[in-house]
Amino acid sequence: MIIRSPASPADPLRSWPLVLCLVGLDYFSTLSYLPSIAVEAAGAWAPLAAGVVVLVTFLLTLPVYLYVVGRSPQGRGASGLLERLVAGWRGKILVLTLLGFAAADFVVTRSLSVADAAVHLIHNPHGQQFFDRLAPTADALRKWCGPELAARLEPFWTRQIVITVGLSVLTFGFFSVLKKGFARKMVLLAVVVVIGYLVLTGIVIGGGLKYLAEHPVYVQGWWRQIVHGNGSRVGDGHLVRSWLLLALWSFPQMALGLSGFELTMTVAPLVKGTHGEVTEDVRARVRNTRKLMLSAAAIMGVYVVSSVLVTTLLVPHEAINGEGPARHRALAYLAHGGTLATGEDGSAALGLPFGEQFGNLYDASSVIILCLAGASVMAGLRRLLPHYLHRLGMELSWAGRVGVMTHLLNAVILLITVVFRASLSSQQWAYATSVLVLMTGASLAATIDVGERLSASRLRWLATAPFALIGTFFAAMTGWIVLLNHSGLSIAMAFVATILVTSSISRWLRSTELRFEGFAFANDDSRQRWQDICGLDFQVLVPHRPGLMPLPEKHRRIQDEHRLPPGTPVIFVEVTLGDPSDFYHIPLMRIEHVGDLEVIRVSDCVSVSHVLAAMCVELCRVGHPLKSSSAGRTKPPLAANLHFLLLGEGNIPWMVKSLVHRAIPDPSRQPRIRIG
């Protein structure tokens, strides 16, 4: 399988403002439901809690990701950085855990966003009339399915679930149409949708702020409520402390306003560097990606605080709580000119263009951006998952051709929708958990990387401390939200377990493949000598593990046991494992002399057996078949096989023989492998 480079011609580079719109489909669409969630979580303190989210964005989140994108500009983000920093199975498990939460973020983003789109349709006056005419009655359902099946279906046959599933299916079909030329078509569509949505949202927020500016008494009354609390004067110190405590309490629910940073970096390869460049300019692309993140954070910061302020002061709390018409659509409620918290009619109080027509337009804009939310995540997962799964030993070229991965994710989205009954309140916890875990992983990657780069400096602790503290904060918030609701953890762990099980089965089934992509050579002399060795008429290959027996003694024993005539070229091979958790490898070969004996030293390999087999295959391409001598197996069979599959060693002689015979089916060309 060939993993396509992030900057391949199929994904043309775009200017960063255009890619910002692609990211905005996921990031800015949270404005459809975040204001009402903030009011539910923090009440009158919601605008101050939203301010904390903005502070966290600029003081904690942005510094981490501005650093990580510079160290991983290929679009793999914290996962790619951790893969380089933490080797072996520990690194693989860590990266897979992050990928599990990234996948959970993707499916919950899609499920939650489409569920909110259904909320906008259901509460739209025209939508209500349409669905009232279309929806079957309970009697009709019993007639179609029978009373027993109807009783089982009724909890899942709600208007919210049915419309959400229908919108999801329509969205799947839409994305399949955009499959060819995804980046080009999706970016252009994102520009239109995001700009239109931000303009309409800006009109709603602007109208609310204008009304508050003309009626400052409402702002003053709200502030007195914050300052005086239950009627007793609260000192400034107590006010700040209460604000911070409430902000931390409500932060997990409002963490949705931080979504998009880790997955923003997965679309970094789409960002153009210097204008008009022909070759990729990595530094310019990183610089423009940082502009993208700063701009997205600034836009979101302004919109979040102002929208939450307008919602808190103008939307009646009873309309947000319970099954009120403003729940999870507070800005749409204002756009329709709903009754304000002051008791006034919104259309008359806020003036033009607020009313039914403008509300319909705003609902349409919200539904479109919510249905397209997750497009940037899809683009990111299309890059990330094949790369890591390929390295774990999963053959995905056929899956890419038939779109298996996309179809499986779509099936999971529908399953999540039904299990959570298309409820935003239930899914928001899973969404927030995924966001916070990804930020914790990014902080960890930045901490480890800075520590590695400054390992020789006395100020190492001073440089790593900020990232470590940021990671501690996000880890604590993650733990807190998992205690409140573990759905996000369960979804992510299901993805991780599925990947681990399927990749383990794939590695076992493909264990007799060579997994070899060619040799790299330490120098030109080694390359030339290897070519000369391959041209010899007769070779004897002897694996040797340093420290068990001196080379001269082993050479004498080989000559005695095999009765080799003097002058027969005996080639000793010493193999040093690299990262056995990888599946494919390009071993590094160095050919040296130890006294009168010649030794081939091979490093950076994932399996001793596969390196020896690959060398046998290469040597048998010309000349006579070589003779290979290996020591027998000393470990129990099960332990030897597990060591071979997981650690790259164990059961070596037998696997070399099996691998070579599989690669060279012609018995006349097979080398003679002797197992002592």
Q: Assess if residue 513 is contained within a domain.
A: no
Based on the fold, state whether residues 91 and 211 are members of the same structural domain: yes
Distances, alpha carbon 506 to alpha carbons 43, 88, 485, 637, 673, in Å? 51, 18, 34, 20, 27
Task: Give the Cα separation of 116 and 329 in Å (integer).
Answer: 8
Span 298-336, pLDDT tens digits: 999 999 999 999 999 999 999 998 888 999 999 999 999
- Greatest pairwise CA separation for the chain in angstroms: 106
Task: Give the Cα separation of 433 and 484 in Å (integer).
Answer: 10
Based on the fold, state whether residues 249 and 215 are members of the same structural domain: yes
Based on the fold, state whether residues 482 and 543 are members of the same structural domain: no
CATH number reported for the structural domain that contains residue 70 in this entry: 1.20.1740.10
Residue 313, token pair as written in the block: 């002061």
Task: Give the Cα separation of 330 and 666 in Å (integer).
Answer: 73
Of residues 203 and 676, the one with the higher pLDDT is: 203
Based on the fold, state whether residues 455 and 584 are members of the same structural domain: no
pLDDT of residue 251: 80
Query: Picking from 133-137, 243-247, 343-347, which range would have the lowest pLDDT averaged per residue?
Result: 133-137
Based on the fold, state whether residues 64 and 203 are members of the same structural domain: yes
10, pLDDT greater than 70: no
Based on the fold, state whether residues 66 and 200 are members of the same structural domain: yes
Distances, alpha carbon 591 to alpha carbons 107, 281, 335, 575, in Å? 51, 38, 75, 12
Q: Assess if residue 205 is contained within a domain.
A: yes
How many domains, the chain?
Answer: 2
Of 479, 507, 535, which one is at a domain's C-terminal end?
Answer: 507
CATH number reported for the structural domain that contains residue 644 in this entry: 3.40.50
Of residues 524 and 74, the one with the higher pLDDT is: 524
397, pLDDT greater than 60: no
Q: Assess if residue 512 is contained within a domain.
A: no
3 band by pLDDT with thresholds 50, 70 and 90? very low
Q: Assess if residue 515 is contained within a domain.
A: no
Domain that holds residue 250: 16-507
pLDDT, mean of residues 427-454:
91
Residue 14, token pair as written in the block: 């775009």
Sheet hosting strand 520-521, strand order edge to edge = 520-521, 588-594, 597-605, 570-577, 540-543, 627-630, 672-675
pLDDT of residue 279: 45
Query: Picking from 417-426, 507-516, 658-667, which range would have the lowest pLDDT averaged per residue?
Result: 658-667
357, pLDDT greater than 70: yes
Of 507, 533, 550, which one is at a domain's C-terminal end?
Answer: 507
Distances, alpha carbon 163 to alpha carbons 58, 112, 117, 367, 457, in Å? 37, 13, 9, 12, 59
Based on the fold, state whether residues 474 and 529 are members of the same structural domain: no
pLDDT of residue 460: 86
Of 442, 475, 507, which one is at a domain's C-terminal end?
Answer: 507
Based on the fold, state whether residues 490 and 543 are members of the same structural domain: no
Based on the fold, state whether residues 577 and 648 are members of the same structural domain: yes
Most confident segment among 114-128, 151-165, 561-575, 652-666 = 114-128
Based on the fold, state whether residues 27 and 138 are members of the same structural domain: yes
Based on the fold, state whether residues 71 and 216 are members of the same structural domain: yes
